[in-house]
Structure formats: C-alpha cells, structure tokens
Amino acid sequence: MIDAQAKAARARELFLEGYNCAQAIAGAYASELGMEEKRAVRLASGFGAGIGGMRGVCGALSGMMLVYGFVRGYDEAVDMEGKKRLYASEQAIAKRFTDTFEALHCRELLRRAGIEATSTPSERTPEYYKKRPCVRYIEACARILADALNEA
C-alpha cells in the first residue's frame, strides 16, 4: 500500500529543492519506477512547466501520468484493450485533478493565480515559492497517484 501523505511530502520537498513539478512527482515515486531518485528526476526533467516551458499540461500531472503509465501501462503495440484501460484510467485520474483545480494546463493554472507564464525557467527564490501555486498541484497529484495505484 502506497502512503499518499508520505509521497506528497516527498514530492513537496523535491519541488522546494528546485526540481520541476514533473520531477517532484517522478522522484517521489522512484521506487515504483524501479530506479534511483536521481534517475527518475532525470527521466521527468523535460516535462516541467507544461513540457519544456511551453505551459501545456501541468508538469505535476505529466509526472503523474508518466509514473502511472509505467506501473499500470501496456507494452505490446497490439494491446488495444490495455491501451483503452490505460487511457480510461488516466482520464479518470485527470478528472480528479480538474474537479479540484478546474484546469489542467500550466498556463491556465498560473493565470488563475495571477502569474504571467513565461517559457523560460524562473530563478527559485523565496519570493518564487511564495507566489507559485505549484506545490498544491504537486501534493494533489502525489496523493491522487497513490490512490489510483492503490485502487488498481
């Protein structure tokens, strides 16, 4: 059984250390990925800030799907039933996020917090962390993921 609170706390710590949202989730779930934390954060490094700073799907959500797909995904190209099950599960997981936050794109989530999204990484300062709502999304995704994996 995965401890949702412990995963949320570790994901929060990773984010506050300077890792991006996707890395925070992947790093917190490194053991489920069967890899060292350093390798997990590297795997997810390109998914931050809505994938490479393009402000698409929230990095925490992308990290969550990366882990979920690794643990519960399919690996045969012709496995249409596996693909259907995975996509349905991922859609249900994403709905849990949007039911709470009403959006799933980084740009929109930041806009709702009064932040103008840019495509370049921001310096991680105390002021950055005060303004950013990201830690809430990271903690939520870590908990949602634990629940989804525990249910499956």
Neighbours of 73 (CB within 10 A): 17
Tens of pLDDT, residue by residue over 76-116, are 999 999 999 999 999 999 999 999 999 999 999 999 999 99
Q: How far is CA 126 from CA 18, 21, 92, 96, 145, in A?
A: 11, 17, 35, 30, 28
Distance CA 59, CA 22 (A): 5
Q: Is pTM beyond 0.85 here?
A: yes
